[in-house]
Amino acid sequence: MAQIAQVLQQLLQGLSQLAGAWSGMLSGSPSGGPFASQPSPFGNFPLQNQPVAGFYGGSPGQTPSVQGGGGGYNGTSGLLGSVGAPPTPSDPNEFASYLQAQRLGGTLQGKTGIAQKDAIPGTRFGQVANSEAWQASLARNYAYQFAAYATGADALTPAGMQKGQQAFNNMSDDARLFMQVAAVFKGNLLNGPGFYNNPGLKQLLLNHNLGDLANQPGVGETDVQSIGAITKALNSGQLTLDQVISSGTIDNLDRYHQVINYVQGGQFNNALNFYDNVQV
Protein backbone atom coordinates (compact mmCIF):
# COMPACT_ATOMS: atom_id res chain seq x y z
CA MET A 1 0.00 0.00 0.00
CA ALA A 2 2.86 2.36 0.81
CA GLN A 3 4.36 1.77 -2.63
CA ILE A 4 1.02 2.44 -4.32
CA ALA A 5 0.61 5.66 -2.36
CA GLN A 6 4.13 6.77 -3.37
CA VAL A 7 3.41 6.06 -7.05
CA LEU A 8 0.15 8.00 -6.87
CA GLN A 9 1.93 10.93 -5.22
CA GLN A 10 4.60 11.00 -7.94
CA LEU A 11 1.91 10.83 -10.62
CA LEU A 12 0.03 13.76 -9.06
CA GLN A 13 3.27 15.79 -8.88
CA GLY A 14 3.96 15.11 -12.54
CA LEU A 15 0.46 16.15 -13.55
CA SER A 16 0.79 19.33 -11.48
CA GLN A 17 4.09 20.23 -13.20
CA LEU A 18 2.62 19.55 -16.64
CA ALA A 19 -0.43 21.72 -15.87
CA GLY A 20 1.87 24.52 -14.73
CA ALA A 21 3.90 24.32 -17.93
CA TRP A 22 0.77 24.52 -20.12
CA SER A 23 -0.54 27.43 -18.06
CA GLY A 24 2.70 29.35 -18.61
CA MET A 25 2.63 28.72 -22.36
CA LEU A 26 -0.99 29.82 -22.73
CA SER A 27 -0.63 32.97 -20.65
CA GLY A 28 2.65 34.10 -22.20
CA SER A 29 2.78 36.95 -24.77
CA PRO A 30 4.84 37.23 -27.95
CA SER A 31 8.29 38.67 -27.47
CA GLY A 32 7.63 41.53 -29.84
CA GLY A 33 6.89 40.30 -33.34
CA PRO A 34 8.88 41.06 -36.47
CA PHE A 35 9.91 44.60 -35.44
CA ALA A 36 10.85 44.06 -31.80
CA SER A 37 14.10 45.42 -30.41
CA GLN A 38 15.88 45.99 -33.69
CA PRO A 39 18.27 48.77 -34.59
CA SER A 40 16.65 51.05 -37.13
CA PRO A 41 18.76 51.71 -40.24
CA PHE A 42 16.66 53.10 -43.10
CA GLY A 43 18.56 51.90 -46.11
CA ASN A 44 20.72 54.82 -47.19
CA PHE A 45 19.26 56.90 -44.33
CA PRO A 46 19.93 54.94 -41.10
CA LEU A 47 17.91 55.96 -38.07
CA GLN A 48 19.84 57.46 -35.19
CA ASN A 49 18.73 58.22 -31.63
CA GLN A 50 15.40 56.53 -32.31
CA PRO A 51 13.74 54.71 -29.40
CA VAL A 52 12.90 51.12 -30.31
CA ALA A 53 9.30 50.33 -29.47
CA GLY A 54 7.33 47.77 -31.44
CA PHE A 55 3.67 48.22 -32.27
CA TYR A 56 3.10 45.15 -30.14
CA GLY A 57 2.72 46.11 -26.50
CA GLY A 58 1.63 49.74 -27.00
CA SER A 59 -1.13 51.32 -24.98
CA PRO A 60 -4.75 50.35 -25.75
CA GLY A 61 -6.06 51.96 -28.89
CA GLN A 62 -2.54 52.77 -30.11
CA THR A 63 -1.45 49.41 -31.47
CA PRO A 64 -1.97 49.08 -35.22
CA SER A 65 -1.46 45.74 -36.88
CA VAL A 66 1.66 45.77 -39.04
CA GLN A 67 2.27 42.13 -39.87
CA GLY A 68 2.76 41.43 -43.56
CA GLY A 69 0.22 39.35 -45.41
CA GLY A 70 -2.94 39.64 -47.42
CA GLY A 71 -3.14 40.69 -51.03
CA GLY A 72 0.10 40.38 -52.84
CA TYR A 73 2.13 39.89 -55.94
CA ASN A 74 2.78 36.39 -57.25
CA GLY A 75 5.97 37.25 -59.12
CA THR A 76 4.79 36.04 -62.51
CA SER A 77 1.39 37.39 -63.51
CA GLY A 78 1.51 40.91 -62.15
CA LEU A 79 -0.52 42.77 -59.60
CA LEU A 80 -3.27 41.14 -57.58
CA GLY A 81 -5.16 44.39 -57.19
CA SER A 82 -4.02 47.98 -57.22
CA VAL A 83 -2.83 50.22 -54.41
CA GLY A 84 -3.62 53.87 -53.85
CA ALA A 85 -1.55 56.69 -52.40
CA PRO A 86 -0.50 56.82 -48.74
CA PRO A 87 -2.60 58.97 -46.41
CA THR A 88 -1.79 62.68 -46.47
CA PRO A 89 0.49 63.71 -43.57
CA SER A 90 -1.44 65.39 -40.77
CA ASP A 91 1.37 67.86 -40.00
CA PRO A 92 1.70 70.65 -42.60
CA ASN A 93 5.40 70.93 -41.70
CA GLU A 94 6.12 67.24 -42.33
CA PHE A 95 8.05 67.73 -45.56
CA ALA A 96 10.12 70.66 -44.28
CA SER A 97 11.00 68.73 -41.11
CA TYR A 98 11.98 65.60 -43.04
CA LEU A 99 14.11 67.59 -45.48
CA GLN A 100 15.89 69.43 -42.68
CA ALA A 101 16.81 66.12 -41.04
CA GLN A 102 17.93 64.78 -44.41
CA ARG A 103 20.06 67.85 -45.10
CA LEU A 104 21.63 67.95 -41.62
CA GLY A 105 22.42 64.26 -42.00
CA GLY A 106 24.71 65.19 -44.88
CA THR A 107 22.65 63.93 -47.80
CA LEU A 108 23.72 66.78 -50.04
CA GLN A 109 27.36 65.99 -49.28
CA GLY A 110 26.99 62.32 -50.15
CA LYS A 111 26.53 61.16 -46.54
CA THR A 112 23.70 58.91 -45.53
CA GLY A 113 22.54 59.67 -41.99
CA ILE A 114 19.15 60.96 -40.92
CA ALA A 115 18.22 61.45 -37.27
CA GLN A 116 15.00 62.48 -35.58
CA LYS A 117 16.97 64.95 -33.46
CA ASP A 118 17.71 66.89 -36.66
CA ALA A 119 14.03 67.39 -37.50
CA ILE A 120 12.34 70.74 -36.90
CA PRO A 121 11.52 70.97 -33.15
CA GLY A 122 7.83 70.72 -32.37
CA THR A 123 6.92 68.89 -35.59
CA ARG A 124 5.38 65.44 -35.60
CA PHE A 125 8.41 64.10 -37.47
CA GLY A 126 10.55 65.38 -34.61
CA GLN A 127 8.40 63.98 -31.81
CA VAL A 128 6.71 60.65 -32.57
CA ALA A 129 8.47 58.20 -30.26
CA ASN A 130 7.31 54.92 -31.78
CA SER A 131 10.18 53.69 -33.92
CA GLU A 132 8.08 51.71 -36.41
CA ALA A 133 5.62 54.57 -36.92
CA TRP A 134 8.52 56.95 -37.47
CA GLN A 135 10.06 54.60 -40.00
CA ALA A 136 6.73 54.35 -41.85
CA SER A 137 6.64 58.15 -42.03
CA LEU A 138 10.21 58.18 -43.27
CA ALA A 139 9.26 55.70 -45.99
CA ARG A 140 6.25 57.79 -47.02
CA ASN A 141 8.40 60.90 -47.38
CA TYR A 142 10.94 58.92 -49.37
CA ALA A 143 8.18 57.68 -51.69
CA TYR A 144 7.02 61.26 -52.24
CA GLN A 145 10.57 62.15 -53.28
CA PHE A 146 10.49 59.37 -55.89
CA ALA A 147 7.19 60.75 -57.18
CA ALA A 148 8.56 64.29 -57.24
CA TYR A 149 11.55 63.21 -59.33
CA ALA A 150 9.38 61.12 -61.67
CA THR A 151 7.04 64.06 -62.32
CA GLY A 152 9.78 66.64 -62.84
CA ALA A 153 9.52 68.41 -59.47
CA ASP A 154 12.39 69.26 -57.11
CA ALA A 155 12.58 66.33 -54.69
CA LEU A 156 14.67 68.37 -52.24
CA THR A 157 12.10 71.09 -51.48
CA PRO A 158 8.82 70.95 -49.53
CA ALA A 159 6.99 72.35 -52.57
CA GLY A 160 8.49 69.66 -54.79
CA MET A 161 7.53 66.89 -52.35
CA GLN A 162 4.02 68.31 -52.20
CA LYS A 163 3.83 68.10 -56.00
CA GLY A 164 4.97 64.49 -55.75
CA GLN A 165 2.26 63.78 -53.19
CA GLN A 166 -0.39 65.44 -55.37
CA ALA A 167 0.73 63.45 -58.42
CA PHE A 168 0.60 60.10 -56.63
CA ASN A 169 -3.04 59.19 -57.25
CA ASN A 170 -2.78 59.99 -60.95
CA MET A 171 0.16 57.66 -61.52
CA SER A 172 -0.10 54.09 -62.79
CA ASP A 173 -0.77 51.11 -60.54
CA ASP A 174 2.75 49.78 -61.10
CA ALA A 175 4.32 53.15 -60.29
CA ARG A 176 2.28 53.70 -57.11
CA LEU A 177 3.04 50.24 -55.80
CA PHE A 178 6.71 50.38 -56.78
CA MET A 179 7.36 53.71 -55.02
CA GLN A 180 5.83 52.61 -51.74
CA VAL A 181 7.42 49.17 -51.82
CA ALA A 182 10.81 50.66 -52.71
CA ALA A 183 10.61 53.13 -49.82
CA VAL A 184 9.63 50.45 -47.28
CA PHE A 185 12.09 47.93 -48.73
CA LYS A 186 14.98 50.35 -48.20
CA GLY A 187 14.08 50.66 -44.52
CA ASN A 188 14.10 48.50 -41.43
CA LEU A 189 10.45 47.49 -41.43
CA LEU A 190 9.90 43.76 -41.95
CA ASN A 191 13.48 42.94 -40.97
CA GLY A 192 15.21 45.22 -43.46
CA PRO A 193 16.97 47.02 -44.88
CA GLY A 194 17.06 45.92 -48.49
CA PHE A 195 19.04 47.31 -51.39
CA TYR A 196 18.73 47.92 -55.11
CA ASN A 197 21.65 47.68 -57.49
CA ASN A 198 21.54 51.24 -58.83
CA PRO A 199 23.94 50.58 -61.74
CA GLY A 200 21.74 47.61 -62.56
CA LEU A 201 18.64 49.83 -62.62
CA LYS A 202 20.41 52.13 -65.06
CA GLN A 203 21.30 49.14 -67.23
CA LEU A 204 17.69 47.97 -67.10
CA LEU A 205 16.63 51.33 -68.55
CA LEU A 206 19.31 51.11 -71.24
CA ASN A 207 18.23 47.56 -72.12
CA HIS A 208 14.77 48.93 -72.88
CA ASN A 209 16.07 51.81 -75.01
CA LEU A 210 15.35 54.37 -72.29
CA GLY A 211 18.65 56.21 -72.49
CA ASP A 212 16.86 59.53 -71.99
CA LEU A 213 16.06 58.38 -68.44
CA ALA A 214 19.20 56.32 -67.82
CA ASN A 215 21.59 59.13 -68.69
CA GLN A 216 20.14 61.74 -66.36
CA PRO A 217 22.49 62.95 -63.55
CA GLY A 218 22.55 60.58 -60.58
CA VAL A 219 20.76 57.69 -62.28
CA GLY A 220 22.76 54.55 -61.59
CA GLU A 221 24.42 56.22 -58.60
CA THR A 222 21.92 57.55 -56.06
CA ASP A 223 18.60 56.17 -54.89
CA VAL A 224 16.19 59.05 -55.48
CA GLN A 225 17.36 59.51 -59.08
CA SER A 226 17.68 55.79 -59.90
CA ILE A 227 14.38 54.70 -58.34
CA GLY A 228 12.73 57.89 -59.59
CA ALA A 229 13.80 57.12 -63.16
CA ILE A 230 12.40 53.58 -62.89
CA THR A 231 9.18 55.07 -61.49
CA LYS A 232 8.93 57.38 -64.49
CA ALA A 233 9.33 54.44 -66.86
CA LEU A 234 6.68 52.45 -64.97
CA ASN A 235 4.29 55.38 -64.99
CA SER A 236 4.62 55.81 -68.75
CA GLY A 237 4.19 52.09 -69.40
CA GLN A 238 7.69 51.71 -70.83
CA LEU A 239 8.54 49.20 -68.07
CA THR A 240 6.45 46.81 -65.99
CA LEU A 241 6.89 45.84 -62.36
CA ASP A 242 7.45 42.26 -63.52
CA GLN A 243 10.45 43.43 -65.53
CA VAL A 244 11.93 45.29 -62.56
CA ILE A 245 11.47 42.33 -60.22
CA SER A 246 13.04 39.88 -62.68
CA SER A 247 15.96 42.19 -63.53
CA GLY A 248 18.31 40.91 -60.80
CA THR A 249 18.61 44.37 -59.21
CA ILE A 250 16.85 43.50 -55.91
CA ASP A 251 18.93 41.88 -53.20
CA ASN A 252 16.21 39.90 -51.36
CA LEU A 253 13.21 38.87 -53.41
CA ASP A 254 11.57 36.93 -50.58
CA ARG A 255 11.47 40.03 -48.41
CA TYR A 256 10.51 42.17 -51.42
CA HIS A 257 7.37 40.08 -51.93
CA GLN A 258 6.65 40.36 -48.20
CA VAL A 259 6.90 44.14 -48.48
CA ILE A 260 4.52 44.08 -51.47
CA ASN A 261 2.01 42.21 -49.31
CA TYR A 262 2.56 44.68 -46.47
CA VAL A 263 1.76 47.64 -48.74
CA GLN A 264 -1.10 46.04 -50.68
CA GLY A 265 -2.64 44.51 -47.57
CA GLY A 266 -3.04 47.92 -45.92
CA GLN A 267 -0.53 47.47 -43.10
CA PHE A 268 1.65 50.32 -44.35
CA ASN A 269 -1.34 52.67 -44.27
CA ASN A 270 -2.24 51.40 -40.78
CA ALA A 271 1.20 52.37 -39.53
CA LEU A 272 0.94 55.78 -41.19
CA ASN A 273 -2.51 56.44 -39.74
CA PHE A 274 -1.08 55.60 -36.33
CA TYR A 275 1.80 58.01 -36.90
CA ASP A 276 -0.51 60.79 -38.11
CA ASN A 277 -2.92 60.50 -35.18
CA VAL A 278 -0.95 59.36 -32.13
CA GLN A 279 -0.67 61.98 -29.42
CA VAL A 280 2.77 63.69 -29.28
Band of the pLDDT at 136, cuts 50, 70, 90? very high
Q: What is the mean pLDDT of residues 148-168?
A: 96
Model pTM above 0.85: no
* Mean pLDDT (the chain, rounded): 76
Distance, CA of 173 to CA of 181 (rounded, Å): 12
186-240 pLDDT, tens digit per residue, is 988 898 889 999 999 999 999 999 999 999 999 999 889 999 999 999 999 999 9
160-193 pLDDT, tens digit per residue, is 999 999 999 999 999 999 999 999 999 888 988 8
**Residue 6: predicted pLDDT:** 52
Q: Is the pLDDT of residue 86 over 70?
A: yes
Q: What is the mean pLDDT of residues 95-100?
A: 97
